[in-house]
Structure 1
Amino acid sequence: MKVLLDQDSCVASGQCVMAAPDVFDQRDEDGIAVLLDDTPGADAADGVRQAAAICPALAIAVQD
């Protein structure tokens, strides 16, 4: 699995961090999402897919 994050599209909702906290974080200064792991293991797959699905800005893409 490969995770792509478009920080320019991010609206800092934090939904990705709630869904997959080992894969996503937010910058302190503006809340924009930060990708901690662009190739997470299988144990994180469900959370990453959920994060991509609930992102209001559609800023997350998942490639299998």
Structure 2
Amino acid sequence: MALIITDDCINCDVCEPECPNGAISQGEEIYVIDPGLCTECVGHFDEPQCQQVCPVDCIPLDPNRVESKEQLMEKYQLLTSAE
């Protein structure tokens, strides 16, 4: 699954620099995650780094974007092969 940032976001700016895929950016009101770039840090870390640093715990799994670890690894490989 990709992750999603909820309306509880306080725009503290700690998650954006932690994302190794550049999937997090400032939206119109709160930070947003591009599901096409989010691998839940698979391929980079054991845990999603944005979830680890979020002080208000507002970055859950997106139930509308279910992906297996294998699919996330494939996405990671596609993203990193373009570098």
The structure with higher relative contact order (CA 8 Å, sep 6+) is 1
Identity %: 20
- Residue number in structure 2 paired with 1:43: 43
Unaligned regions of 5+ residues in structure 2, if any? 63-68, 70-83
Which 4+ stretches in 1 moved above 4 angstroms?
A: none
1:4-43 to 2 correspondences below 5 Å? 4-20=3-19, 22-27=22-27, 29-30=28-29, 32-37=30-35, 39-40=38-39, 42-43=42-43
TM-score by length of 1: 0.64
1:2-52 alpha-carbon deviations (Å, 9 max, x no partner): 23324311110111111015111112x54x1111126427335x2x71110
TM-score by length of 2: 0.53
> What is the number of residues matched between the two proteins?
60
Unaligned regions of 5+ residues in structure 1, if any? none
**Contact conserved, 1:24 with 1:37, CA < 8 A, in 2?**
no
Please, what is the CA RMSD of the aligned residues? 2.9
Structure exhibiting the larger radius of gyration computed from Cα positions: 2
**Contact conserved, 2:5 with 2:33, CA < 8 A, in 1?**
no
**Contact conserved, 1:24 with 1:33, CA < 8 A, in 2?**
yes
